[in-house]
Amino acid sequence: MDNLSELQLDALSEIFNIGAGRAAASLSEIVSEEVKLSVPSVEFRKCSELNAKVLSLDQNQLGVVKQQFSGQFNADACLIFTEDSALEIMRDMMGSHISVEELAEFEQEAMCELGNIILNACLSAMSDMLDIQLESSLPSYSVCSSDEIIDSIVDVENQLYIMILHIDLEIERRQVNGRLIFLFSSSSLGVLRAQIDAFVTRI
């Protein structure tokens, strides 16, 4: 029960890569250059197993865009980049629009937009493919340490499972990688599992 089968994970990975492709297309429009986005791996864990090693983002200052999804199942979704690489992405995305000095003041809002595009694309791919109706809160951005993230996740009651997506993002020849983390209750995971199974039998 604790984990998804290989087949189920493959299906999810395929779905998220479709989402990543859509997000890349949206981001390309913004920066007017090719943006590549892929999800090379998906893994499931129990919340209690989450630690810095599992997160494998060794840098301490992390930029986190968070949205709460609700509907047929509920999930907290966090998109995590190291703060340095988050700033680099923003710098590249803003390009000539803005000077580096002006960057900090806009960072929060711009990161929300970037995170929102990636989170929505992944979630909507999931809701399209798995036929799940979902709503979402607005994105919020914060900077915190990996310990703070882990504490906040391990602390959440009822959210027993986490899904970790590795995200590779390439903008203007700069490569950054991040993580997308979903927190599920076991009932939500049950819904997800059932929908994946239905999806797998359909294809």
Partner 1 sequence: MMKNIDTAPQFEWEALFDTVNIGLILINKEGCVLLWNEWIAKYSGVEAKDAINLALVDVFSEPLSKPIIAAIKRAITTKLPVVLSNALHKFPLPLFNLNGSGERISQSIILSPIKQKQGEVICLIQVTDSSTSIKREKMLRDHSELHKKDATMDALTGLYNRRFFDRQYATHLSQAQRQNTTLSLVMLDIDYFKNYNDHYGHPAGDSAIVAVSECIRSKLQRSSDLAARYGGEEFIVMLPNSTVAVAQAFAESVRQAICDLNIAHNNSLIARHLTISVGVSSCLPGMVVDSATFLKNTDLALYAAKQKGRNQVQYLPL
Which chain residues interact with partner 1 by CB under 8 A?
A: 26, 29-30, 90, 93-94, 97-98, 101-102, 105-107, 109-110, 112-113, 116-117, 120-121, 123-124, 127, 134-139
Nearer to partner 1, 115 or 178 (CB): 115
Name residue, tokens 């990975």.
13
Least distance CB 154 / partner 1 (angstroms): 27
The nearest distance, CB 159 to partner 1, in angstroms, is 20
**Nearest to partner 1 of 35, 50 (CB atom):** 35
Q: What share of the chain is helix, strand, coil (3-state, %, to 5)?
A: 50, 30, 15
Smallest gap from Cβ 190 to partner 1, in A, equals 23
Give the single-character DSSP code of 139.
Answer: P
CA distance 57 to 54: 8
Nearer to partner 1, 128 or 151 (CB): 128
> In whole angstroms, how close is the CB of 56 to partner 1 at the nearest point?
28
Sign of the torsion angle spanned by Cα atoms 103, 104, 108, 111: positive
Q: Counting beta carbons within 10 angstroms of the beta carbon of residue 16, is it exposed (0 to 12), middle (13 to 18) or buried (19 or more)?
A: buried
